[in-house]
Chain A
Amino acid sequence: MNPIWTLLPPLLVIPFIIGFGERFRNLREASIIIAGIWLLYLNNQLYNQFVAGNAITSGELPLLAHFSLKLSVEPMGLVFGLLASFLWVVTTVYSIGYMRGHDEKNQTRFYVCFSLAIAGVMGAAYADNLLTLFVAYEAITIATFPLVTHAGTQKAQNAGRLYLGLLMSGSIALLLPAMIWVATAAHTLDFVPGGVLSDVGLSQSATAVLLALFVFGTGKAAIMPMHRWLPAAMVAPTPVSALLHAVAVVKTGVFVLLKVVTYTFGIDMLSTTAAAQYLLPVAAFTVVASSIVAFTKDNLKARLAYSTISQLSYIIMAALLATTMSVTGGVFHIVTHAFGKITLFFCAGAIMVASHKTEISQMKGLGKTMPITMGAFLIGALSIIGLPPAAGMWSKLFIAGGSLEANNLIWIAVLMLSTVLNIAYLMPIAINAFFEPNKPSDQSGAPLANEWQEAPFASLWAIVVTSSVCILLFLFPQPLMSLIGSIQWR
């Protein structure tokens, strides 16, 4: 099967979304779910064919003289594609509940941009070369921009400006020259196992500069100081935040870095030279600093945003450590963090819809009225922290193992410090929800009701699905592990 078919469902559903519009919203949302399931099926087909050992590529579209757009299937992209298509279905179900419960405006536009972004993600996941990946990266930026400014308020517009400004300027001023540099030095932009830069005579400092262009130019990976857009983008509706944080945007960023490290530089090249050593401290600083900032935020979504920045830098660290184990951990962490963080965001949205609370200090005792939501929150939090019985443990273990493999114990210390901070900023929310008494909230003065007051069923269903995946992946990591294990390192 041609991987280009994966672009079809999210693009084909757009005329249906517009056609059904606000008048037939059940049909509109049904069409999205059908497209999502179709996409998941296609990705699963690709997975089966890949496991069967077939080489799967698309045709070429020569965009520039020697460089063309092309798609092909390899393990890392397959993980990302499967993840994104699965979460698209779940997020759509969730947003049906959320958007209606919250009575959002312009839902048609919201779903159209959402589908476009998913098409972009599919293009990124199966990109066969750097040019294709860059094109998809830009497409995602443009497609998600209207989602960030969805609310239409002054704050949303400012966030939109920052979002587009940082991501687009970063990609054009840093990522584009990095790509052209690779094209000039290696005369190819293809992703080749073992990399294309090992024998083109780049000096160590040149390699370090090139790597830095990639790391900072990929603004979606949100390494400090390119992270400002992420907390600002929190003004978007919660399903968007969930999509941005768990799948489409930020994961594309770290995915670019993992791909580049593995298939453009080659992990051997990076682990034998010291090029990456200059950047590891920046990533480590981001891990710790954003965890500390998260600790100071009382708004739940803001706290989760800073937590995302920190978790993304785990993956950047994993890429920069450039050992087989650390990169494996990095790819794994894309998945585990996606499920953990999307669960937390879903919970944040559910709390907002059901009890209109956004600040953490108001959420004490919420476990009594929203036990399912808060239970799922606990599981998501455990996964982010990296404790059993949640999947986050595995990926964190691998990244730590990677830094052992690189003989660098200091990065383990960073990981552990961050884990402690994770516990400190996530666990109290869940603990207070269950063990604190129901206090009258400051704003309304009325005590919380004692009966269940959960979010709409559709949203609740999505929360249950993602949180159970967190546990399932802890119990059965094997299929995912073997898929990641089939990456050709050299």
Chain B
Amino acid sequence: MIATQLPALQIIIPLFAAPLIVLARRSELAWIIALVANFLCVLVAWDLFQLVNEQGIIRYSLGGWAAPTGIEYFVDTVNAPLLLLVSSISAIVVAYAYHSVKKSIDSTKHYLFYAAWMLCLSGLLGMLITGDAFNVFVFLEISSLSTYMLIAFGNDRRALTASFRYLVLGSIGASFILIGIGFLYAATGSLNMLDLAQRIPNASSERAILVAFSFISIGLMIKSAIFPLHAWLANAYHFAPISVTAFLAGTATKVSLYVLLRFLFSVFGTQYNFEYLLLNVILLPAAVFGFLIMSVVAIFQTDLRRMLAYSSVAQIGYIVAGISLATQAGITAGYAHIINHALIKTALFMSVGCIIYRLGHAHRPSLDNLIQTMPLTCVAFIVSGLGLIGVPFTGGFISKFTLISASMEKGWWVMGGLVLVSSVLAIIYIGRVVDVMLFRKQRLPNPMPQGRNEAPLSMLVPMYVLIGLSLYLGVYGSETLTVSGEAAKQLLGGFR
């Protein structure tokens, strides 16, 4: 009985947790409800993941209304792993958030914070699971609105402007998507993605489809912060509460990338995008300039959050580069990097969160000799940083290796070379932080407290769980690659 309702439960659990949290009001209770709901989400996602592996695609008609009239949830090898990824990252970060939230946010507002978090999670999971184009927009709005709220919780006053800036750009993106979906509906008379995929080749007005395509892809590029449409990201990541940043870095942009993948490959089709529209000519330069320029920009940031934010844009560039290859190997690489980068970047932001918890800032030049006072946090940062660089036994190595070999296979040697150049830039920006942490002697007027001053265990344990997970995927990289290969096959083959 429950097994057949799993796709609905995936959304309903966090959606109903939100009002429950508001009713509970007490901050500890709110946290516990959020945590429990989130772990239930992980269980559901795990079950779905297993089911998809065993039986293939799951189609679920919401409320018993059959598609294309009703809304359909659609789980296949592309979104099942991401459902698991997003709900797990959220669960781990919620577990981690308790102390950091307690310290940085007024205790009367905790319940609102966790309620917004749950809404955001249900929005993100909804974007992943739904098979209905308009429903994507609805969930996108749910997650965006709650994200604006979460960002505004930051205790720096600039959090408000960051949130507002994101609101403006995010709304532009969302309305572009809505306009695009409107055009699609006008041209084909359907909103169901499977239905759309069949009707688009036979649509009467090719121009309407083209317009729809442009609006949707630009809207999604804004939401997934693809260079040069990334302007909202740095401020949002910088000024949001650090646990929110960790959560968003691992999930929000990745989910938008998934929707982009879905539309590009499943709905519009490879031929349409890459042979007729030559999309690779547009996406590829954006990706390459993105990872080169943003890596250079990251080098010159003094705030760790800002540095990691720019590095995120760069890493999204790798993912897009893989996608723009439009080959099995390329999409496999891009997809694998979605998984690996989500884990690595979340862990990095979590370690920065530990630093902020103790020091109240994440200003690189003032982290002198931090290894003495916070060794575990520093080790976490260094290990995850190595993952960002792409050292063997980390997830970054797996996806980078696959990406470069995919671009060589296609004959795009220059791109493979530029990925490596950007990896060397990553050595520089991570190296600068490590350098200060390990070697710089204290020379501040008010030196940091001496002796061990590690972040609380409730922050360290979730962080190390996540690092363990990403290292596991670094050692058993072929598992990630198998999952990604299946996803790529599904995307290239269209809906089957």
Contacts and interface: CB of A to CB of B under 8 A. Distances in A.
A15 interface: no
Interface string A128-167: 0000001100110010000001001000010011001100
A180 to B, nearest CB: 5
Contacts of B420: 172-173, 176-177
Contact of A64 (B386, B389, B478): B478
Interface string B358-392: 00000000000000000000000000001001111
Interface residues of B, number: 31
Most buried by B among A64, A165, A177: A64
Interface string B463-491: 00000000000011110011001000000
13 contacts: A62-B476, A64-B477, A68-B478, A135-B393, A138-B391, A149-B438, A149-B439, A164-B427, A164-B431, A172-B424, A173-B420, A177-B416, A177-B417
A169 interface: yes
Interface residues of A, number: 28
B404 A177 contact: yes
Nearest to B390: A172
A258 to B, nearest CB: 21
Contacts of A184: 405, 408-409
Nearest to A61: B475
Main secondary structure of the interface of A (DSSP, over half): helix
B424 A180 contact: no
Contacts of B168: none
B405 A183 contact: yes
Contacts of B438: 149
Given A134-B392, A138-B391, A63 B408 contact: no
Contacts of A152: 439
Given A62-B477, A65-B481, A160-B439, 11 more contacts: A63-B392, A64-B402, A64-B478, A135-B392, A149-B439, A157-B435, A168-B389, A172-B389, A172-B390, A172-B427, A180-B405
A278 interface: no
Interface of B: 386, 389-393, 398, 401-402, 404-405, 408-409, 416-417, 420-421, 423-424, 427, 431, 435, 438-439, 475-478, 481-482, 485
A261 to B, nearest CB: 22
A147 to B, nearest CB: 14
A181 interface: yes
Given A64-B477, A183-B405, A184-B405, A168 B398 contact: no
A126 B389 CA distance: 26
A111 to B, nearest CB: 19
Contacts of B398: 63-64
Q: Across chains A and B, which 5 residue pairs bring their CB atoms closest together, nearest first?
A: A62-B478, A135-B392, A65-B481, A184-B408, A180-B405
A176 B485 CA distance: 22
B392 A138 contact: yes
Nearest to A164: B431
Nearest to A65: B481
Interface in A379-435: none
Contact of B404 (A62, A134, A180): A180
A173 B422 CA distance: 9
Contacts of B424: 169, 172-173
A196 B398 CA distance: 23
A135 B475 CA distance: 11
